[in-house]
Amino acid sequence: MRIDVSHARTVVQNIMQAGGMTPEQAQAVARRMVASDLYGHVTHGVAMVPMYLERLGDGRICADGTLKTLQDHGSAFSWECGRLPGAWVMEQAIGQMLERIESHPVVTATIANCGHIGALQVYSDEIAQRGLLGLMMVTDPGVVSVAPFGGATPVLTSNPMAVIIPTRDQPVLVDVSTSVTSNTAVRNYQEAGRKLPGNWLLDNQGVPTNEPSVLADDPPGTILPLGGEDFGYKGFGLGLMVEAYALALTGYGRHQGHKRGGQGVFFQVIDPARFCGSDVFLDETTFVRKQCLDSTPAKHASHAAPSACCPPKEGASCLGSGPSAKNGPGVRMPGQRAQEKRADQLANGLAVDDAVVASIDACAARLKVPGLS
């Protein structure tokens, strides 16, 4: 189904508000959920409405509470937010960071015990439009699904990170997990009755497998770090970096035994004007972007990757995976496909799976507010 973007935001906002959020919280959540779908991150989009209502009901997301300032040094601040809605918390943090960057070359924020914030890429616009360089890392210390490279016992989880690189053209938007795939993707493959496209997991004996059900075994299997069987030590190292920045630095770590649902967030913005100067910086990032796009396409094959977010339907590719038919083989910059998808859906309506529409309409009916259809 194609749904008007404003209508989708209004429906999600009304459902979240009926579920207990304040109007401001509900608006922020709706804005970022719909943005996730616009960018093609369907696993973090409006499909999460039922899960958010469940978390509001069991306390994993709290609508009541206040942001607590743990430290504030002007260019760096640290918050604890008692599982307040993540999108709303992130918008408050971005507002602070953009205000403070006027007075400081670098502004860094850490947030402990934050409600689920969704796809990292949806927080890139405000940063890129200001010509700022951004770095984000986030993880949930209550989730273990990734074993350290060489091990078979889960210690870490998918530990995503994002980089925002402005240019004079489209920004470069890196948004990746430090594991081969995510917990949600594995669950989607299992629910669809499909094998994974490759040996992305280890069973509980440490044997590589493409069987998604091993994560539900007792003891559970694990997701391989980014780089897989051969080069997973690289993803393992990046995963540890996220642990240090998003958990240890926030003071919200695994050793404290937190329950699932609260995230640690690291967010930093850098103003190139205070270093080499904005023009010099943008000259370089724009040049490198163009050089990459002008690179002669490889002759061996398209670099289309198997879906890491959801199993494709028969005869169709998954949203967000592989180059689009429009681009064909060759180089595609990080975030390029997402920005093309966003432009298309803003013009032609949000593409939402029929099953997702039905689940949202059911939530709306239960809460006595209008649904999507």
Residue-wise pLDDT tens digits, 23-35? 999 999 999 999 9
CA distances from 210 to 80, 181, 250, 303 (A): 39, 12, 35, 21
Tell me the C-alpha distance between 324 and 288, whole Å: 22
Separation of first and last alpha carbons in the chain: 9
Instruction: Indicate the average pLDDT of the chain.
Output: 93
pTM score, whole prediction: 0.92
* Confidence grade of residue 308 (pLDDT, cut at 50, 70, 90): low
Tell me the C-alpha distance between 124 and 129, whole Å: 8
List, in sequence order, every beta strand (DSSP E) within the chain.
2-3, 68-72, 76-80, 106-114, 133-139, 161-165, 172-176, 201-202, 208-209, 222-223, 263-270, 350-351
Tell me the C-alpha distance between 126 and 124, whole Å: 6
Helix residue ranges per DSSP H, 59-134:
86-100, 125-129
Q: Which residues contact 248 (CB under 8 A, 6 or more apart)?
A: none
Residue-wise pLDDT tens digits, 240-270? 999 999 999 999 999 999 999 999 999 999 9
Do 176 and 160 meet the contact criterion of CB atoms below 8 Å apart?
yes
Among candidate residues 24, 157, 156, 46, the one with its CA nearest the CA of residue 91: 24
Q: What is the DSSP letter of 248?
A: I
Tell me the C-alpha distance between 307 and 118, whole Å: 19
Q: Topology of domain 67-180+224-297, per CATH?
A: Ribosomal Protein S8; Chain: A, domain 1 (3.30.1370)
CATH class of domain segment(s) 1-64+337-373:
mainly alpha
Residue-wise pLDDT tens digits, 99-125? 999 999 999 999 999 999 999 999 999
Helix (H) or strand (E) holding 119: none
Tell me the C-alpha distance between 91 and 35, whole Å: 13
Q: Which residues contact 257 (CB under 8 A, 6 or more apart)?
A: none
Residue 46 amino acid letter: V
* Confidence grade of residue 299 (pLDDT, cut at 50, 70, 90): confident
Looking at the chain, the whole-number percentage of residues with pLDDT higher than 90 is: 90
CA dihedral 86, 92, 98, 104 (to 10 degrees): -100
Residue-wise pLDDT tens digits, 195-218? 999 999 999 999 999 999 999 999
* Confidence grade of residue 313 (pLDDT, cut at 50, 70, 90): low
Tell me the C-alpha distance between 180 and 202, whole Å: 11
Helix residue ranges per DSSP H, 226-349:
228-242, 278-293, 336-348
Structure tokens at 151: 């091990």
Tell me the C-alpha distance between 329 and 349, whole Å: 27
Domain boundaries, the chain: 1-64+337-373, 67-180+224-297
CA distances from 168 to 173, 290, 331, 341, 362 (A): 14, 10, 18, 20, 44
Do 242 and 146 meet the contact criterion of CB atoms below 8 Å apart?
no
Query: Average pLDDT in the 167-176 region?
Result: 97
Structure tokens at 348: 């032609």
Q: Is 83 helix (H, G, I), strand (E, B) or coil?
A: coil
Quote the pLDDT of residue 318.
42
Residue 217: Cβ within 10 Å count: 12
Tell me the C-alpha distance between 346 and 339, whole Å: 11
